[in-house]
């Protein structure tokens, strides 16, 4: 069966290698613009400290051929929905052989800032791909089956490309355990020799990557390379060594990892990326980049570690009511009073037992916090003090896919603000959290990005709503 040949976004972006443009001209200044200085030992130490990438993650990513400047990456980190970025690190067939920004320092900087990196190789392409070879020193995958009809020459090419890619990855500080992606552009999968040699090449690529301590990923169009891999998985499971993860190009505009070309059980769970939108310009933080858009579902996905506060006191609620002195038989919620006692104890202000009972010791602590925040001093605890107290802590950039205690802080603070629908406090920045952030940002007249950066943290910490 001949599968359609949808245009590949990674290929189209390589043809647009120099399309990173800012609203104003951007220089290549910053940590990513130059190779790192100093002695070899500190550089090696920095590389060793880099985390495995991309790790466990569910969220959005973008790719383009030329690694952006550090200034562009910083702007997009603060303002874009993306947390992952595809970068071309190896391969003689890539259009962006010259990568002025891509250095060990650039890689380390992005990983430190929380970016998930997707290192891509565009080497030998399928023999029936009409756009390749691209250069005089560029080669395609050998389509000859050989005497054993196992396409061993193509397999050896894949083995060699894996060795080269790993060397390039290590030189950039991309550590073992990371996923390295091979970009196999769309081809005529009905051409037997072309298809079988391509699959044999990828089999060699995966075999050698695993032996060298890396995870194998393959990018291709859903209708050709991915469909061929999936058919081999079902019909000839022992013929080829299949990649650990797949990255399918299917420009249907749907941010998920599904396609009609791919069976639902393949590379599941947590082993797929989908490029759901092809080349287009986006502007974030005043910086314009031509990108493809991707949705990632990898590993365990975005999962928050459990949290324990004050020995197990509950501090997460869908609402945070006013707390005032008991009157006429009406008492404040014991659970919320206990949460307040815990939160104030963590700030070193409440020194009593966590009983959930309203009393003078609690009022003293409440007043101390109110004074420290420039709030009216009162025996009553209103929305603003709730928000200021719940927003305390680290203030990283948060967006869809982020996890951890700071996410819980945002979720609790937004629930206390009473803006929009209440959300569950999970520690995972999901679609409901992003929607609530956008509603709150519109209310306080901030740019509606759905991203919590320094400007949003400042307003949350002041209790603005």
pLDDT attached to residue 172:
98
Q: Which two tokens stand for residue 253?
A: 């505009």
pLDDT attached to residue 48:
53
Shared-domain flag, residues 390 and 261: no
Shared-domain flag, residues 257 and 357: no
Q: How far is it, in rounded angstroms, from Cα 292 to Cα 282?
A: 10
Rounded percentage of the chain residues whose pLDDT exceeds 90:
89
Shared-domain flag, residues 125 and 15: yes
pLDDT digits (tens, 9 = 90+) for 289-343: 999 999 999 999 999 999 999 999 999 999 999 999 999 989 999 999 999 999 9
125 part of a folded domain: yes
Shared-domain flag, residues 208 and 136: yes
Q: How far is it, in rounded angstroms, from Cα 462 to Cα 70?
A: 31
Domain-terminating residue out of 298, 316, 345: 298
Q: Give the range among 16-25, 83-92, 103-112, 250-259 with minimum mean pLDDT.
A: 16-25
185 part of a folded domain: yes
pLDDT digits (tens, 9 = 90+) for 66-118: 999 999 999 999 999 999 999 999 999 999 999 999 999 999 999 999 999 99
Task: Supply the Cα-derived Rg of the chain in whole angstroms.
Answer: 26
Q: Which two tokens stand for residue 432?
A: 């409901």
- Total domains in the chain come to 2
266 part of a folded domain: yes
pLDDT attached to residue 91:
97
- State the CATH number of the domain containing residue 147: 3.20.20.80
Shared-domain flag, residues 203 and 281: yes
Q: How confident is the model at residue 31 (pLDDT cuts 50, 70, 90)?
A: very low
- Specify the residue for token string 């070193």: 348
What rounded mean pLDDT belongs to the chain? 91
pLDDT digits (tens, 9 = 90+) for 438-464: 999 999 999 999 999 999 999 999 999
407 part of a folded domain: yes
Q: Is the peptide bond before 54 cis (omega within 30 degrees of 0)?
A: yes
Shared-domain flag, residues 350 and 236: no
Q: How many CA atoms lie within 13 A of 286 on its CB side?
A: 7
pLDDT attached to residue 10:
54
Q: How confident is the model at residue 263 (pLDDT cuts 50, 70, 90)?
A: very high
Shared-domain flag, residues 121 and 175: yes
Domain span holding position 216: 9-298
318 part of a folded domain: no
List all residues 6 or more positions away from 246 whose beta carbon is below 8 Å from its beta carbon: 217, 218, 219, 220, 226, 229, 262, 266, 267, 271, 272, 273
The pTM for the full model equals 0.88
355 part of a folded domain: yes
Distance of CA 14 to the CA centre of its chain: 21
- The predicted model gives 393-401 an average pLDDT of 97
């Amino acid at each position: 069966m001949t599968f359609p040949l949808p245009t590949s976004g990674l290929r189209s972006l390589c043809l647009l290698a120099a399309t990173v443009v800012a609203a104003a001209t951007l220089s290549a200044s910053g940590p990513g613009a130059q190779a790192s200085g100093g002695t070899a030992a500190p550089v090696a130490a920095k590389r060793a400290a880099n985390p495995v990438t991309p790790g466990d993650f569910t969220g959005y990513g973008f790719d383009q051929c030329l690694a952006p400047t550090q200034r562009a990456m910083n702007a997009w980190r603060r303002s874009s929905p993306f947390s992952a970025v595809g970068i071309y690190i190896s391969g003689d067939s890539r259009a962006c052989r010259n990568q002025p920004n891509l250095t060990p320092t650039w890689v380390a900087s992005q990983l430190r800032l929380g970016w998930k990196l997707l290192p891509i190789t565009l080497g030998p392409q399928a023999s029936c791909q009409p756009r390749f070879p691209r250069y005089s020193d560029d080669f395609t995958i050998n389509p000859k089956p050989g005497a054993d009809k196992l396409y061993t020459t193509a397999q050896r090419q894949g083995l060699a490309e894996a060795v080269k890619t790993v060397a390039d990855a290590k030189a950039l500080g991309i550590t073992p355990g990371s996923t390295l992606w091979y970009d196999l552009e769309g081809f005529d999968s009905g051409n037997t020799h072309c298809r079988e040699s391509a699959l044999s090449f990828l089999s060699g690529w995966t075999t050698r990557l695993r032996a060298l301590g890396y995870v194998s990923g393959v990018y291709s169009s859903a209708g050709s390379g991915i469909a061929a891999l999936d058919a081999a998985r079902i019909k000839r499971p022992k013929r080829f060594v299949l990649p650990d993860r797949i990255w399918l190009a299917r420009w249907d505009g749907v941010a998920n990892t599904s396609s009609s070309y791919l069976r639902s059980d393949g590379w599941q769970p947590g082993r797929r990326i989908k490029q759901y939108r092809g080349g287009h310009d986006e502007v974030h933080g005043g910086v314009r980049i031509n990108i493809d858009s991707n949705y990632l579902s990898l590993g365990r996905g975005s999962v928050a570690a459990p949290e324990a506060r004050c020995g197990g006191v509950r501090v997460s609620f869908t609402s945070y009511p006013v707390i005032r002195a008991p009157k006429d038989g009406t008492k404040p919620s014991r659970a919320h009073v206990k949460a307040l006692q815990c939160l104030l104890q963590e700030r070193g202000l409440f020194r009593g037992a966590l009983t959930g009972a309203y009393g003078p010791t609690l009022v003293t602590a409440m007043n101390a916090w109110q004074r420290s925040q420039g709030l009216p001093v009162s025996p009553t605890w209103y929305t603003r003090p709730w928000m200021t107290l719940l927003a305390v802590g680290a203030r990283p950039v948060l967006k869809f896919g982020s996890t951890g205690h700071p996410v819980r802080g945002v979720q609790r603070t937004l629930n206390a603000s009473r803006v929009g629908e209440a959300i569950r406090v999970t520690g995972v920045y999901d679609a409901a959290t992003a929607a609530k952030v956008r509603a709150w940002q519109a209310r306080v007249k901030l740019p509606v990005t759905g991203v919590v950066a320094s400007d949003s943290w400042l307003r949350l910490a002041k209790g603005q709503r």
